[in-house]
C-alpha cells in the first residue's frame, strides 16, 4: 500500500459495504459497471492485500476519494468494522472533502435513521462488547448517514434499475466536478462552442484505421474538464473505452510499465489483470476503441501507449491532451485542437444552479481558473 515516499492513489468512488450481504451480488455488479465506465473505484478486497485491512490504509483511501457510496444492508449495522469505516467516512464528509451517497439495500431507511427493529437489536449487542463512547459515535455516524438523501432498493423494480440510477448519479457528480452539467451552463463555460469545433475532427463515423488527435492548451484544469466532457459525450459510440485521468502523475521511477498496466487494467473493466496483455490486445484488435490520455507531458508516455493503441480496431479514436504543443508535433500528431479559452464563472454560483449542498462545493474547485491559449486558424 502507500508509503511515505509514494503519493497516495486517488479514487473517484469508495465503496463501503458488508461483504457477506452483497459482495457476490449487488456489489460485484456495481463495481464492474463503475470500472467499465473508467470510474476509479476502491473496493477493499481488491485494493488491500490479504491480511492488511488496516484502518490507516482505509482512512487514506477515503480521504483520497471524491464520493463514498455506503451500501447499508441488513447486516451492515451488525459489523463493528463497517461502523468504524462509516465513522471515518462521516468524519471526512464533515470536513467538506467528500460526498457521501447512502444506498439502503433491502432495509428501511427509517429503521436505520431511528435505529429501531433489527438495528436496535444489533446495537444492543455492540453495547455488550464495546465501550460506551464507541457505540455512541457509531450511532451518530449511522444517524448522520441516514439523514442524507440516497437510494432505496424498495423504490426500484429490480437491482438493474437501482444500478442504473446509482451509476448515472455518480457519473453526473463526477462530470459536474469537471464540466458543466447542462446545455445552458455549458454555453457559459464555452464547451458547446468547443464541441462544435471538435466534432468534425473526431470523425466518429469513420471505420478506417486508428485516429490520433491532440487537445492543447497552456492551462491544466480547463483542458482536463474539456477532455472529460468530450469523453462523456462520445464514449457510448465505442465498444471499449478508457479515460486515463492524469498521465503525468504516474510515478516516474517505473512510469512506462505503470502507464501501460493502468491502461490494460482499465480497458478490460477491472483491476485484476489478465495473465498476459496479449489476450487483451487480441480482443481490442476487433473492437472500436476510445482512449483519452489526459495531461501527458513526456514523449515516452506516448511511445508506451502507442504499443497498445496501434493494435486497436478500425474506427478507433485516441485523444491526447497536453500543455506542450511540441510534444504532439514530435509524436507526429497532425490534428491538434488548440483551446482558446474555457470561460468559467464562479463555482459557488454553478453548484447553486445544479442543486448541490454547500458542503459539496469543493468538487468544482478546479473550474475556478480559466485557461488561455492560441486559437487555431
The verdict on whether 203 is a catalytic residue reads no
pLDDT tens digits along 342-360: 544 333 343 344 334 333 3
Residue scoring higher pLDDT (119 or 197):
119
In whole angstroms, what is the distance from residue 195 CA to residue 217 CA? 15
pLDDT of residue 152: 92
Residue scoring higher pLDDT (273 or 341):
341
pLDDT of residue 236: 81
* pLDDT band, residue 184 (cuts 50/70/90): very low
Whether 202 and 317 have beta carbons less than 8 Å apart is answered as yes
In whole angstroms, what is the distance from residue 129 CA to residue 80 CA? 10
pLDDT of residue 255: 55
Residues 148-171: what's their mean pLDDT? 88
pLDDT tens digits along 61-77: 999 999 999 999 999 99
**Its pTM surpasses 0.75:** no
pLDDT of residue 8: 66
Closest alpha carbon to 93 in 376, 362, 374: 362
Whether 212 and 237 have beta carbons less than 8 Å apart is answered as no
3-state secondary structure 118-178: HHHHHHHHHHHHCCHHHHHHHHHHHHHHHCCCCEEHHHCCCHHHHHHHHHHHHHHHHHHHH
Residue scoring higher pLDDT (111 or 97):
111
Whether the CA torsion 229, 30, 362, 366 is positive or negative: it is negative
Whether 72 and 104 have beta carbons less than 8 Å apart is answered as yes
> Which one is catalytic: 33, 47, 85, 127?
85
CB under 8 A, 24+ apart: contacts of 116-125? 118/74, 119/77, 122/75, 122/77, 122/78, 123/77, 125/78
pLDDT tens digits along 259-288: 766 676 666 654 444 444 566 677 788 889
Closest alpha carbon to 232 in 178, 301, 286: 178
pLDDT of residue 362: 31
Work out the mean pLDDT of the chain and round it to a whole number.
Answer: 77
Whether 41 and 15 have beta carbons less than 8 Å apart is answered as yes
The proportion of the chain whose per-residue pLDDT surpasses 90, expressed as a percent, equals 37
- Other Cβ atoms within 10 Å of 359 Cβ, number: 14
Residues 225-241: what's their mean pLDDT? 83
pLDDT of residue 266: 66
Amino acid at each position: 500500500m502507500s508509503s511515505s515516499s509514494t503519493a497516495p492513489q486517488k479514487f473517484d468512488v469508495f465503496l463501503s459495504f458488508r461483504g457477506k450481504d452483497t459482495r457476490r451480488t449487488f456489489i460485484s455488479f456495481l463495481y464492474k459497471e463503475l470500472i467499465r465506465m473508467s470510474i476509479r473505484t476502491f473496493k477493499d478486497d481488491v485494493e488491500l492485500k490479504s491480511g492488511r485491512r488496516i484502518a490507516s490504509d482505509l482512512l487514506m483511501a477515503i480521504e483520497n476519494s471524491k464520493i463514498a457510496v455506503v451500501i447499508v444492508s441488513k447486516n451492515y449495522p451488525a459489523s463493528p468494522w463497517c461502523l468504524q469505516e462509516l465513522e471515518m467516512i462521516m468524519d471526512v464528509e464533515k470536513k467538506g472533502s467528500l460526498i457521501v451517497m447512502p444506498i439502503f439495500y433491502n432495509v428501511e431507511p427509517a429503521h436505520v435513521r431511528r435505529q429501531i427493529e433489527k438495528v436496535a437489536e444489533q446495537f444492543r449487542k455492540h453495547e455488550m462488547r464495546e465501550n460506551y463512547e464507541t457505540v455512541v459515535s457509531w450511532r451518530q455516524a449511522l444517524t448522520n448517514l441516514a439523514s442524507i438523501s440516497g437510494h432505496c432498493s424498495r423504490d426500484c423494480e429490480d437491482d438493474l434499475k437501482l444500478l442504473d440510477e446509482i451509476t448515472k448519479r455518480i457519473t453526473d457528480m463526477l462530470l459536474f466536478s469537471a464540466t458543466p452539467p447542462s446545455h445552458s451552463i455549458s454555453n457559459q463555460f464555452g464547451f458547446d462552442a468547443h464541441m462544435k469545433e471538435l466534432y468534425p475532427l473526431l470523425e466518429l463515423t469513420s471505420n478506417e484505421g486508428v485516429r490520433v488527435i491532440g487537445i492543447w492548451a497552456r492551462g491544466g484544469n480547463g483542458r482536463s474538464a474539456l477532455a472529460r466532457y468530450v469523453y462523456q459525450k462520445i464514449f457510448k459510440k465505442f465498444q471499449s473505452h478508457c479515460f486515463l485521468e492524469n498521465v503525468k502523475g504516474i510515478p516516474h521511477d517505473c512510469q512506462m510499465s505503470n502507464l501501460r498496466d493502468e491502461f490494460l487494467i482499465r480497458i478490460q473493466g477491472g483491476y485484476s489483470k489478465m495473465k498476459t496483455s496479449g489476450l487483451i490486445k487480441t480482443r481490442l484488435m476487433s473492437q472500436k476503441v476510445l482512449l483519452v490520455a489526459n495531461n501527458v507531458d513526456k514523449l515516452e508516455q506516448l511511445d508506451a501507449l502507442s504499443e497498445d493503441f496501434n493494435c486497436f480496431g478500425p474506427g478507433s479514436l485516441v485523444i491526447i491532451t497536453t500543455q506542450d504543443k511540441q510534444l504532439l508535433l514530435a509524436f507526429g500528431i497532425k490534428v491538434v485542437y488548440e483551446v482558446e479559452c474555457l470561460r468559467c464563472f464562479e463555482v459557488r454560483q454553478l453548484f447553486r444552479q445544479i442543486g448541490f449542498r454547500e458542503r459539496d462545493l469543493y468538487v468544482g474547485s478546479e473550474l475556478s481558473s480559466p485557461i488561455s491559449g492560441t486559437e487555431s486558424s
